[in-house]
Amino acid sequence: MEKSRLPPRPRYTRWGLPLAAVLTFLVWPVPWPSRTWITPDVPVPLTWDEITPAQSLEYHNCGDEFQCARLKVPMDYKRTDGNGRTFALAVVRLPAKVPVTDPRYGGAILINPGGPGGPGTMQAFLSGPDLQQIVDAEGDPSETRESTVDKYFDIIGFDPRGAGSTTPPVMCFPDPVSQRNWELQVATEGMLGSGWDALQRNWQRTEALNSGCSVYDMSSLETDEPMMSFVNTRLVAEDMLTIIERHGEWREKQGQAAHKCHESDETRAILERTRWHRGEEPLLYWGRSYGTLLGSTFASLFPDRVNRAVLDGVVDMFKYYQGKGKNAITDADAIFERFGQYCNEAGLAGCPFYIDGGADAIKEAYWQLEKQILNASIPVMASALRGPEVVTWTDIKAMQRVAIYQPLLAFPLLARRMNELSKGNAVPAADFKHGNHFGACPSNACSRAGPWSAECARAQDNELYAMSAILCSDAEFLTTLSMEEFKIMWDELTADSYSLGDYWAQMQLSCVGWKAKPKYPFRGPFGGNTAHPLLIVSNTLDPVTPLHSAQHMAQMFPGSGLLQQESEGHTTIAAPSICIAKAIRNYFQTGVLPAAGTLCQADLKPLVGSPDHAATLSESLSPADRKLFKALMAEVERGPMFSV
């Protein structure tokens, strides 16, 4: 595998987001952050390959305060002959602000950003300090006594089997160049709804991709354990169980090391606190979007292991696994309704797309402009900085999708771009689109090893394909749809949401022609009585994980708490809410759920207020709340990185 450098807490461009349909998902991902980092005088591995996979957690310093490990797990947990294949899970740990031997050590919180296949290691690097700020006790541990009840937590992110820097990866192309060529062709084809033959073209492309990707295991051509049969969510949940067990083992070793140095009542207490509870280690977890599906799957399989679990932006297990129940996008158009409302409220000073006539007039102008671009894409001549471009309806839908997911961040951008287009100026949109094109160049190692080699696999390139592998292994009903059956589904989705129906249908299309079958599918039972209640969190309006899904899942796990944020967007990181943050902190600190019916307000709303409203609000807060608000805003600003 190409040597994948361990990234630091990288800087990233807020709106450096490729505006293209990639694979058969229309997504708006950000460029992979810098893969290099420098930490003077610290002997650290430069690449994941320099860390030898082990059956225990063996951490290595990997930049700033982070630690990295590669944990070897069996591909097939039920194989007992000792000859089975393995995955090497990439794991990143942000250590707690106190040693594991300290009585205030609260344990390790596993995190998942969504996906399927989202990079948990990248989430740990980018978001770990901010998540830690939210869950940790308010006081600085250096200023509090060890006898306090305050708790401080590790944050652990991992890349699921087949995804990211976990090896072997899902691999659908012989090298990065062929992959990029394919993706540029897909982007040019346009998404569902972009033309009369869009379904036929996208269907055939997906069949072509999946005919090889779902069948051939290029990481091991002669094997009785094809990797694609072992990447479903059920097995990722079992990997989580392995991680918490191995963490317990590692924690005990730290306690034993302290005891060897000095034997006393204090060190004996350390031994007891750090003892590994074999086969009983509890889960602390925080998952968003698909991460809630992973969390609820774990809780269904291992309910006695759940100690704390926050599920934010909740996927309905029945809809995801079986296709039963309400569609997930039923609230998407209501969010776009608010674009018109907020734009009208903000006026021309705050919303460039504002026109007289109220919210309805603004929305009508938007739909008319979108229809105009659907009927006639906009050619844009070359400039000194780029070649010619064509701004298409698919480009507009991509912007709209991100705006509905992240209104606080993206409503202003959407208003600006649509205002420019309404005035006949497509140059900024073309510049923006062109700036997000990127090429691909095989590494020297890839060129030497040849096509389909491990050296040609790049961690930053396979997330979308790992997503397909996991989704199609979980939702087997999507793999058997005929084109006529798919058309019915597509019609239902566009009836539920004009703004998001085509995009969501595009995601369902990704399993056409998928041939691999999971060896251990998860078909229930769904739900259960967990050892400790879950905390289920939802926005009032979420485009793809609606409030009704959260309510349904709360019923499936009796005793769970349901916490609602009065805002719009995908998961509560779409807008900051100190109320939400404090409820999550209290849950991790004490286990206490918020009172039934608790409704938290968002602290900021899209388009409304002065551009420096966030800074003004921050200055008005107490020092402790200001730290929380800063962490929340950082999470909001990186939201598009983990939104699919």
Q: How far apart are CA 309 and CA 287, in angstroms?
A: 8
> Is there a domain that residue 374 lies in?
no
| pLDDT above 90 (res 144) | no
Give the Cα separation of 304 and 299 in Å (integer): 8
Residue 324 inside a domain? The answer is: yes
- Residues 6 or more apart whose Cβ sits within 8 Å of residue 186: 20, 21, 22, 23, 24, 205
In-domain check, residue 239: yes
Q: Which residue has the higher pLDDT, 77 or 16?
A: 77
For helices 407-422 and 393-405, give the axis angle rounded to 10 degrees: 150
288 pLDDT higher than 80: yes
Cβ within 8 Å of residue 484, ≥6 positions away: none
pLDDT at 5 over 90: no
Contact at 8 Å (CB) between 635 and 286? Answer: no
Question: Please, which residues bridge with residue 561 across strands?
Answer: 535
Confidence of residue 19 (pLDDT cuts 50, 70, 90): very low
Q: Evaluate whether residue 450 is within a structural domain.
A: no
- 394, part of any domain: no
What pLDDT, on a 0 to 100 scale, did the predictor assign at position 36?
A: 31
| Residue 111 contacts residue 156 (beta carbons within 8 Å) | yes
pLDDT at 32 over 50: no
Please give the backbone phi and psi of residue 519, each rounded to the nearest 5 degrees, phi first.
-70, -35
Q: Cα torsion at 588, 409, 13, 468 (round to 10°)?
A: 70
CATH number at residue 575: 3.40.50.1820
The mean of the pLDDT values for the chain is 89
**What pLDDT score does 440 carry?**
82
- Is 180 contained in some domain? no
**Longest pairwise C-alpha distance within the chain:** 79
Per-residue pLDDT tens over the stretch 435-444? 777 778 888 8
pLDDT of residue 549: 98
Helices (H), 136-232: 176-189, 198-213
Question: Residue 261: pLDDT above 90?
Answer: no
pLDDT tens, 583-605?
Answer: 999 999 999 999 999 999 999 99
Q: Residue 315: CB partners within 8 Å, gap ≥ 6?
A: 289, 290, 292, 293, 296, 328, 545, 549
**What is the value of pTM for the model shown?**
0.92
Per-residue confidence at 428, pLDDT binned at 50, 70, 90? very high
Work out the average pLDDT over 204-221: 85
Give bridge partners of residue 70 from the DSSP assignment: 90
Domain tally for the chain?
1
110-120 residue pLDDT tens: 999 999 999 99
Residue 157 near residue 120, CB atoms below 8 Å: yes
490 found inside a domain? no
Can you give the pLDDT at residue 642?
62
Region 457-474: mean pLDDT is 91
Confidence category of residue 152, pLDDT binned at 50, 70, 90? very high
Task: State the pLDDT at residue 41.
Answer: 42
Tell me the average pLDDT across 614-618: 79
Q: How many residues does the chain have?
A: 644
Pairing of strands 599-601, 86-94: unpaired
Taking 70 as the threshold, does the pLDDT of residue 554 lie above it?
A: yes
Q: Give me the domain span that covers residue 616.
A: 92-139+148-166+232-328+522-641
More confident residue, 70 or 214: 70
Query: Does residue 398 belong to any structural domain of this protein?
Result: no
Residue 25 has pLDDT above 60, yes or no: no
What pLDDT shows up at residue 46?
61
